[in-house]
Amino acid sequence: MRSIVSFYLLSVWLSFLCVIFVWLWSGTWRGGFAWDGSFLQFNWHPVLMVTSLVVLYGNAIVLYRVPLTWSRWRCKLSHAGLLSVAVVLSVLGVCAAFDFHRGNNIPHLYSLHSWIGISTVVLFTLQWFGGLCAFLLPWTPLAFRVFLKPLHVWMGTAIFILSLIASLSGISEKLLLTLNGRNGSNTEPYTALPAEALFANSLGILVVIFGLVVLRILSNHKWKNPQFENESDRERHPGVVFCCCCPSASRLDLLCLQGCSSAYLGCNEWLFELLLTFYQLESVWPFSSDL
Amino acid sequence: MRSIVSFYLLSVWLSFLCVIFVWLWSGTWRGGFAWDGSFLQFNWHPVLMVTSLVVLYGNAIVLYRVPLTWSRWRCKLSHAGLLSVAVVLSVLGVCAAFDFHRGNNIPHLYSLHSWIGISTVVLFTLQWFGGLCAFLLPWTPLAFRVFLKPLHVWMGTAIFILSLIASLSGISEKLLLTLNGRNGSNTEPYTALPAEALFANSLGILVVIFGLVVLRILSNHKWKNPQFENESDRERHPGVVFCCCCPSASRLDLLCLQGCSSAYLGCNEWLFELLLTFYQLESVWPFSSDL
């Protein structure tokens, strides 16, 4: 319990650092912001992409792991809300780059970063739209939600990893294209590692550390909130049995519930008690044996 | 069962494609190979890094998911063997880049790619050495192995994600530095998307798809081989009970085994039979109930 809170607080702290770093890089070293087709418009691109596809997205996907006392519906709305803001900001971020290209006769989508980046934004938009239709619209059949959920969860993580790859290759590309001793810039070249390069490289490292912390939170199945895991699965296979064992005091408590196919097996007393309360169990079979 | 085989075959097929693509890029478009401090020595860098940190590493970490009839020991040795080759090739790959820098007065470790790349290689070497000591040396206490295993597994995945980020930023960096219309090169600039850029971008996309297929195989807990999951945990908490339920034919089979703390819960008849055989069970309690 304490470790999920520590990891979550670390992810929030890293979120702020990522946004501050990318904002300072574009706003200070790259000359600030505008929306006029110039390089100042391009400066919105890293800020909007890191804020949306890394920070907001990362915070939205760990929301189901955080031990909040929120209801399922409130958690779902916050997840959808954060991702909706992320979709809008990421599309604006893509527009900023495309407008800059158009204004400076630079072709679109030639670099590996742009290929990965545009695939990430398209997949994210599809995932967001699919998620919205499947999990928020009340008339979506429960069976379809149950079918879609594992794919939605896995695609969510895959898109986050793509976002990390796109961000890192993007920061790298921007530094290589601007700190090259050309373009009339009076900055030192990238190879001399001037202060800007050091700062932007650190931003890249921060993004990677934030990404790994988010993936760490997602990978620990003990931190899954059973309240959010099992509710929609209730009607999946009515014949399959829910089984939960609490191995405290060398005793095996068996807890069987009709109408649920999911299973929780672990040593956490707190989760076990929560399951008992959540499913309002009528029958519990405690049995001691000489196993 | 069929889907893990399909995913595994896809990962093998993508492995070959990644190696062929990176070999052709360095060998054909970049002029071939040498070990003389020139740019021809640098050409070993992408080949060795993609082959070691992406392809061999990816194949080594999915080995425990593949439904082979190998013994635990044989599987462990193959995992360690593939990773040992990967460590050697990755160190050679780093040497190739450092020698090229030295021969051409280019500073080491200035770019974001190099920061991520060197961190990945260092972490990988530490993980390989730690894994070798903890899981192959026979005198390592079982309790220490059990403590280390979740960290080893998670670090393994994290290092693989870092490898993907390093590879993509590396391919991107190489293209931006070489296809820039300078350096006396007679190639078209990157912005014109010449054949080489198209080919190397495709290599990047292949690496990402291979990475996602590997992560998909790792993420599916149903594909974990219980033979490899539980053996070393046997002596962990002697009081805790192994519990396995096979919910076929609306019947609950309960299978309890003293001396094992891990648990398998699922609907797979094949795995259930395998567990019965593997643990040489003396007692099985089938009970039908009106659950």
pLDDT tens, A122-151?
Answer: 999 999 999 999 999 988 888 899 899 999
Does the pLDDT at position A262 exceed 50?
no
- Interchain proximity B212–A245, CB inside 8 Å: no
Average pLDDT for residues B48-65, to the nearest whole number? 96
B117: helix, coil or strand? Answer: helix
Q: How far apart are CA A187 and CA A194, in angstroms?
A: 8
**To the nearest whole angstrom, how far is the Cα of B33 from the nearest Cα of chain A?**
24
Say yes or no: B171 contacts chain A, CB-CB below 8 A.
yes
- Interchain proximity A215–B158, CB inside 8 Å: yes
A233 token code pair: 């699965």
- Interface residue of B104, B153, B165 to substitute, partner A, most A CBs within 10 Å: B165
Say yes or no: A268 contacts chain B, CB-CB below 8 A.
no
Whole-number mean pLDDT of chain B? Answer: 82
pLDDT at B187: 81
Average pLDDT for residues B76-105, to the nearest whole number? 97
Say if residue A105 is exposed, middle or buried (CB neighbours under 10 Å; 0-12, 13-18, 19+).
exposed
Select the residue of A111, A157, A239 nearest B172 (Cβ to Cβ): A111
Say if residue B241 is exposed, middle or buried (CB neighbours under 10 Å; 0-12, 13-18, 19+).
buried
Residues in chain B closer than 8 A to A116 (CB atoms): 168, 204-205, 208
The residue behind tokens 């912005």 is B191
* DSSP code string of A66-112: S-----HHHHHHHHHHHHHHHHHHHHHHHHHHHHHHHHTTPPSS-SH
| Per-residue confidence band for A176, with pLDDT thresholds at 50, 70 and 90 | very high
CB atoms within 10 A of CB A66: 18
Select the residue of A165, A177, A247 nearest B164 (Cβ to Cβ): A165
- Please give the DSSP secondary-structure letter assigned to residue A26: I
Would you list the domain boundaries of chain B?
2-224, 229-287
Cβ proximity of A148 and A141 under 8 Å: no
Cβ proximity of A188 and A179 under 8 Å: yes
- Interface residue of A127, A172, A198, A260 to substitute, partner B, most B CBs within 10 Å: A172
Strand order in the sheet with A285-287: A264-265, A241-246, A252-258, A285-287
For residue B255, the chain A residue with the least C-alpha distance is A291
- Interchain proximity B176–A175, CB inside 8 Å: no
Angle between helices B2-24 and B195-219 (to 10 degrees): 150
CB atoms within 10 A of CB A125: 13
Does the pLDDT at position B39 exceed 80?
yes
- Please give the DSSP secondary-structure letter assigned to residue A220: -
Does the pLDDT at position B154 exceed 80?
yes
pLDDT at B267: 42
**To the nearest whole angstrom, how far is the Cα of B133 from the nearest Cα of chain A?**
24
Select the residue of A168, A191, A256 nearest B165 (Cβ to Cβ): A168
pLDDT tens, A68-100?
Answer: 778 888 899 999 999 999 999 999 999 999 999
Q: How far apart are CA B232 and CA A259, in angstroms?
A: 34
| Per-residue confidence band for B220, with pLDDT thresholds at 50, 70 and 90 | confident
Q: How far apart are CA A29 and CA A36, in angstroms?
A: 19
B86 token code pair: 């990967």
Average pLDDT for residues B176-195, to the nearest whole number? 85
A275 token code pair: 């399951």
Cβ proximity of B235 and B36 under 8 Å: no
Average pLDDT for residues B139-149, to the nearest whole number? 90
Strand partners, A246: A253
More confident residue, A230 or B34: B34
pLDDT at B73: 87
Inter-chain CB pairs, A–B, below 8 Å: 150
Does the pLDDT at position A23 exceed 50?
yes
Average pLDDT for residues B205-231, to the nearest whole number? 86
| Per-residue confidence band for A180, with pLDDT thresholds at 50, 70 and 90 | confident
**To the nearest whole angstrom, how far is the Cα of B21 from the nearest Cα of chain A?**
15
B188 contact partners, CB below 8 Å, separation of at least 6: B179, B181, B194
Cβ proximity of B244 and B264 under 8 Å: yes
CB atoms within 10 A of CB A173: 22
Tell me the percentage of chain B whose pLDDT exceeds 90: 63
* DSSP code string of A190-217: GGG--HHHHHHHHHHHHHHHHHHHHHHH
Say yes or no: B284 contacts chain A, CB-CB below 8 A.
no
Tell me which amino acid residue A92 is.
Answer: L
Average pLDDT for residues B117-128, to the nearest whole number? 98
Select the residue of A112, A289, A291 nearest B204 (Cβ to Cβ): A112
pTM over 0.90: no
Q: CATH says A2-224 is which class?
A: mainly alpha
pLDDT at B11: 97
Task: Give the sign of the dihedral formed by CA B8, CA A222, CA A78, CA A209.
Answer: negative
Determine the Cα angle at A234 with ends A249 and A288, to 5°: 20
**ipTM given for this complex:** 0.80
Residues in chain B closer than 8 A to A250 (CB atoms): 239
- Please give the DSSP secondary-structure letter assigned to residue A265: E
More confident residue, A112 or B289: A112
Residues in chain A closer than 8 A to B192 (CB atoms): 107, 110
